[in-house]
Chain A
Amino acid sequence: MAEQEELVNLTIDGQPVSVPKGSVIWAAAQKLGIEVPIYCYHPKMEPLGACRMCFVAVEKMPKLATACTTVVSEGMVVRTDTPAVKKARQGTLEFLLINHPLDCPICDKGGECDLQDFTLRHGPSASRFDLSKRHFQKPIPVSENILLDRERCIACQRCMRFCQTVAMEDGLVMEERGFRTEIGVNPDAPFDSNFSGNVVEMCPVGALTAKSYRFVTRPWELQKTGSVCGNCAVGCNVRVDVRVDKVLRQYSRTNDSIDDGWLCDRGRWDLDAINSLERLRTPLIRKGGKNSELQPASWDEALTLIATRLREITERDGGRAVGGIGSTHTTNEEAYLFQKLFRAGLGSNNVDHRHGRFPATERNGLPWVWSDSIAGLEKASHIVILGADPYHRQPIVDLRIRKAIRGGAQVYVVTPEPNRLDRLATGVIRYQAGQTGTIARALLNVVTAENLTRGDFAEKRSASLDARRTTVAQDTPERAAEIAGVDAAALRELAREIAGAKGAVILYDEMATLEPTGANLAADLLDLALLTDNFGRPGAGVGPLLEDNNSLGARDMGLLPDTLPGYRPVSDAAARAALGGVWNATLPSEPGKSYDEMLSGGVKALYVMGANPASDATPQQLAALNALELLVVQDMFLTETAKRATVVLPAVAYTEKDGTFTNTERCVQVVRRAMQPLPGAKADWEILRGVARALGLHWAYLSPAEILKEIGRATPIYAGVTRRALGDSGARWPLVPGERAADGRPALQSSPYLTWQMVEQGVARGIAAGELVAGRGRGE
């Protein structure tokens, strides 16, 4: 959205530049590609002006000015190359280097250190200091994962400001003052933040180092690939740093609309699974029948066995006898191929995955999508966290909520357990575990009973409003107090706040829908937002926080027994025909079996890709798994489920393949191969292609990009989604026509939020998918 920003014109070293009003000189220089060295300044934090590294000369100013704090003004004339500026830089650097140990040869930061680099480009070449430098005991741990070298610290205060002003958690502080200043931690307030790794990345020198990365490489030995974190549903943009065949760390690749430049520690360091020596490197099969041992086999053997057995069983008992449990971790392309294999190849709708409960409703089956976006949180006046724990489960969403709090948003934490956001919340409401649905209904009760509904939707859909009023008539907060042990008055007050909010965002955890009271949680909260006019604009909306990196993509791609890709019911003949046209196949019309049904004896052959149902299965489910005629498991590890398999196929990690993930706020993003696949293992899409070919299907896909193109045709909500359209920072579905491009074709842009009309029309129909597909021309 191009809000017209007011621009200011100035010149730097004689070159003209225009930047938004309020920018600092540093940012303007950055735009021109002129380096102004900085230490204390960090573009994502408030300027401090402490290190004095960034001096520039500004015409008509008597003294040198700090580029990081001086705001540009019209006609300003800035020079970064005068003798005075050079002298000032040299002076600052000479001071910083007086006590610096200069142990660059063994410093992890060496090679990507701002003190090295700025000294090279702006510093003095010699020191006049010939006394001995000061020494400290080093390194000292400041947290479980981070070590501090006080000799290397240049006291820029970035790390402290991150802890105190961005993470707003206990952590690093400045101790003492003057030349004694050092970074410290209060033992009563330990630095155990989930965001701690950011201070290592932002430390301009090697003062803060990560335990997992100490002394393992030189930065120039790393191969760096822009990709997306695969550790949770947020989908932060990362740079995967690989040395030979190991991922050593993930660094931020800064996508303002998703991660705002930060990563959580899980994403940054939790890479053990990828680097594990336990990973599967060859297919395994039971050669001597069910009770024999799993033995290494060739890919041909394994694929032939799978195809033969699947054919046998489907020919004998029909497609309904086979089923597949797909993954919330694999790419969209892979999830898509998985359900296509079952629907088109085996004539079965028995495909599902592990997910929350999102029943179709009168609102056209889309109550579960987060209608707004992560960045939209900053525009909200109220944020309600209901039965969710973003700090642990979607960490970078939690960090964005903290930013919203700094901007004045009021946060209400309504959870059974204490939450890390409690301390910063306007209101904290506790209730008994398992009662999230009761709380949602009580909120809806107050809003309807007290006539607090408002807005377009409530007016135009008054029948729906009346219906809701009746269904929740008994569910008063007072009743909730009895059932769920909640403070009725506080709940009533919260409902009123939501109803009166300038913009409220209501977030709940996907898994809360599985609680006994949660059957209608998603739909109830959608209605709460619609009826209080908290929908359809940035900073107002509702949605689940999903669990895994591709939880939403798995649903979008139709890893569901009752819907085709894009949430079209399998019972919809027109949808079946359309998809059958793309696939050149006839599709089964009867809804398939669900995850639970398949796990309780509903099928004779089960194909599990990237999931481990045995890990939390009931004894009955385990017995059913053991009784299967054929169990195929495709995974990186010999999981509990894989140990029971007839055939095990080794798959690779997300860092070893290309594809796309869809995050919890509908953003489809490109994942890139950052390293060679583990020898012997294959990407899930390649494996599925192999199985399809062994079954005699003509699957000719050469790359994930090609599969994505087909997804664009097969899945209306993904119309127009191509690698090119996604670019470096992804796009939120559905893509909608933007301004026309120069060649007259409609350019596509992402939808930052959904309106209730879009939801009612099933989203896809609202965007004239046909026109997009036709107008897209050459596509990728």
Chain B
Amino acid sequence: MISEDVKAQMREICARYPSPRSGMLPCLHLAEATEGYITPEGIAAVAEATGAKLDEVDSVVSFYSMYHRQPQGKYVIKVCTSISCYLMGCDDVLAHLENRLGIRRGETTPDGQFTLQCVECLAACGMAPALQVNEDFVENVSLQVADTMLERLKRDEGVAGMNANWDVAGIGAGDTANNANSANTTSSEKKAR
């Protein structure tokens, strides 16, 4: 349900821009936050607030992987599968997460805790392979990092600090070294299997 109050907020968002259509993305975020995912009602409300047509809003929703058409798990894990991450071993990360969670990409665990998704480039190519948990990035993801991440999420500790740790470890060594490390990790694991 999109309440009158939320609709008013949407109108307020749109009023901030010279053209109300510019408010489409924040309004969609609001719709998703309100209902948990994007419903036809959410699309209609956003169309109304932005003055765009239903089919245009629909198209935008389909373009961005951060909007969802189905109810999502509490933690949505989006693994980048574009070229840099692919070269740095995202397939292994993805397979590992599928195994650990017992679901396939695109699915949600029965307890509603986790959704696993593949997305196009997250613009974190320098720290590939990269993934996103809800709003937060996890970069240079090795299988161990993935495990750590899952443990923290199960304890509801979030992943906000994880990259900071990496950054600390990376200081001095620089990004390149860092990347090389993680690449080594994944490829050696690959050999081990």
Contacts and interface: CB of A to CB of B under 8 A. Distances in A.
Interface stretch (A170-178, A451-459, A737-745): A170-178
A389 B150 CA distance: 62
B55 A174 contact: no
A178 B53 CA distance: 23
B58 interface: yes
Contacts of A169: 53
A171 B58 CA distance: 11
Contacts of B56: 164, 173
B53 A189 contact: yes
Contacts of B63: 174-177
Given A173-B59, A184-B62, A178 B54 contact: no
A170 B59 contact: no
Nearest to B120: A178
A184 B60 CA distance: 12
Interface string B52-75: 011110110011000000000000
A189 B54 contact: yes
Contacts of A175: 58-59, 62-63
A188 interface: yes
Interface string A161-200: 0011000011111111110000011101100000000000
Contacts of A188: 40, 43-44, 54, 58
In the complex, which range does the number of interface residues on chain A fall in?
A: 10 to 19
Contacts of B53: 164, 169-170, 189
A46 to B, nearest CB: 16
A171 B53 CA distance: 10
A618 to B, nearest CB: 45
Given A170-B53, A177-B63, A186 B58 contact: yes
Contacts of B40: 188
A454 to B, nearest CB: 34
A172 B44 CA distance: 17
Nearest to A177: B63
A177 B56 CA distance: 14
Nearest to B60: A173
A174 B120 contact: no
A188 B59 CA distance: 12
Given A184-B62, A188-B40, A173 B55 contact: yes
A95 to B, nearest CB: 15
Given A175-B62, A184-B62, A170 B55 contact: yes
A177 B120 CA distance: 9
Contacts of A184: 59, 62
A172 B55 CA distance: 8
Contacts of A170: 53-55
Interface in A114-173: 163-164, 169-173
Contacts of A176: 62-63
- Which of B40, B43, B59, B120 gathers most chain A CB within 10 Å? B59
- Say whether chain A's binding surface is mostly helix, strand, loop, or mixed: loop
A172 B58 CA distance: 11
Contacts of B59: 173-175, 184, 186
Interface string B27-63: 0000000000000100110000000011110110011
Contacts of A174: 59, 62-63
A186 B56 CA distance: 9
Contacts of B54: 170, 186, 188-189
A189 B58 contact: yes
A171 B120 contact: no
A189 B43 CA distance: 11
A52 B40 CA distance: 35
- Which of B43, B56, B62 gathers most chain A CB within 10 Å? B62
A186 B59 CA distance: 8
- Which of A177, A185, A186 gathers most chain B CB within 10 Å? A186
A135 B54 CA distance: 28
A328 B91 CA distance: 70
A199 to B, nearest CB: 14
B53 to A, nearest CB: 6
Contacts of B62: 174-177, 184
A468 to B, nearest CB: 40
A752 to B, nearest CB: 34
A178 B120 CA distance: 8
Given A188-B40, A189-B53, A173 B120 contact: no
A185 to B, nearest CB: 7
Contacts of A171: 55
B41 to A, nearest CB: 10
A174 B56 CA distance: 9
B90 to A, nearest CB: 15
A136 to B, nearest CB: 16
A395 to B, nearest CB: 20
A75 B175 CA distance: 47
Nearest to A163: B55
Interface in B104-135: 120
Interface in B145-177: none
Nearest to B53: A170
Contacts of B44: 188
- Which of B40, B55, B59, B63 gathers most chain A CB within 10 Å? B55
B120 A185 contact: no
A740 B50 CA distance: 56
Interface string A304-319: 0000000000000000
A700 B63 CA distance: 68
A189 B52 CA distance: 12
A189 B40 CA distance: 11
Contacts of A163: 55
Interface in A235-268: none
A612 to B, nearest CB: 40
A245 to B, nearest CB: 40
A620 B56 CA distance: 54
A187 to B, nearest CB: 9
Nearest to A190: B55
- Which of B40, B43, B56 gathers most chain A CB within 10 Å? B56
A479 to B, nearest CB: 35
A184 B44 CA distance: 18
A176 B58 CA distance: 10
Interface string B79-93: 000000000000000
Interface in A264-307: none
A189 B55 contact: yes
A178 B80 CA distance: 13
Interface string A613-644: 00000000000000000000000000000000
Interface string B5-24: 00000000000000000000
A405 to B, nearest CB: 14
A177 B82 CA distance: 12
A98 B55 CA distance: 29
A189 B58 CA distance: 10
A601 B59 CA distance: 62
Contacts of A178: 120
A548 to B, nearest CB: 33
A742 to B, nearest CB: 53
A173 B55 CA distance: 7
B60 to A, nearest CB: 9
A174 B64 CA distance: 12
A175 B67 CA distance: 13
Interface of A: 163-164, 169-178, 184-186, 188-189
14 contacts: A163-B55, A164-B53, A164-B56, A169-B53, A170-B54, A171-B55, A174-B59, A175-B58, A175-B63, A177-B120, A178-B120, A185-B55, A186-B58, A188-B43
Given A163-B55, A174-B59, A178-B120, 20 more contacts: A169-B53, A170-B53, A170-B54, A170-B55, A172-B55, A173-B59, A175-B59, A175-B63, A176-B63, A177-B62, A177-B120, A184-B59, A184-B62, A185-B55, A186-B54, A186-B55, A186-B59, A188-B40, A188-B58, A189-B55
Interface of B: 40, 43-44, 53-56, 58-59, 62-63, 120
Instruction: Please provide the 5 A-B residue pairs with the shortest distance between their CB atoms, ordered closest to farther.
Output: A173-B59, A189-B54, A186-B58, A189-B55, A175-B62
